[in-house]
Amino acid sequence: MSRSNASPGRTGRPPTTSRAQILSAARQIIDRDGWDKLTVRRIAGELGVGTTTLYHHVRDREDLLIQLLNDHVEQTVHPDLPSAPRDRIVAAATAIHDALAAWPWAAEVLTVDGFLGRLDEPALRVVESIVGGAVEHGCTPEQAVDVFRDVWYYTVGEILVRARSRRTSARVVPVDRDGFFVGGIDAVRLPHLAAIGDRWPELAARDTYPDGLAALVDGLLARAVPAAHPAP
């Protein structure tokens, strides 16, 4: 019998599992169960293959997370960066924020020491834009790293706090109490908080990241290069 007439039901080598399939399954697990539950074994179970099949594409869980992050950045971060150094820093940081806000677990992974240095060029180009913008503005390399670090901390902190607040709000059942602050506020000892009172959740929920980022960058650049702006 010729090969073309062979029965389609015959056994043979199992189909190849691609890197794209592995990353897709990993994202499904993360979205469903959280990134801390991600393991190579669970991905193999999700795909219905043996774990050894996956090791053709990933070395271990840490390598898998790095691949996920690099793939996400490559697909989502394509900022149109201005030529002015200060504006380039703001635009690059905003691109990082927008990409990670939709995938807050990635921001949490990147807070682990050593992960930033293992990112591929598409992600590092955004870091380069911030550091390079600071240097072009007049910062020393050391000061430029400080600018990136402080902008990064502000950005990641904003993403993680908001993400965790949303998760907590979804789980917590409102309790029967008077006002937002438990037990109320002493208007004599805490006058400003008392004046804000129940408006706190509304005010705290506002998206102030763009204004805060601009103010932070302006402050960092002004502090880092005082000699660049001598008094008249």
pLDDT by residue (tens digit) across 47-105?
A: 999 888 898 898 888 888 888 888 888 887 777 899 999 999 999 999 999 988 888 88
Length of the chain: 232
Query: Where do the DSSP E strands lie in the chain?
Result: none
Burial environment of residue 139 by CB neighbours within 10 A (0 to 12, 13 to 18, 19 or more): buried
AA identity, residue 40: V
Burial environment of residue 186 by CB neighbours within 10 A (0 to 12, 13 to 18, 19 or more): exposed
pLDDT by residue (tens digit) across 132-165?
A: 999 999 999 999 999 999 999 999 999 999 888 7
Closest C-alpha to 205, from 152, 155, 156, 169: 169
Q: Looking at residue 118, what is its pLDDT?
A: 79
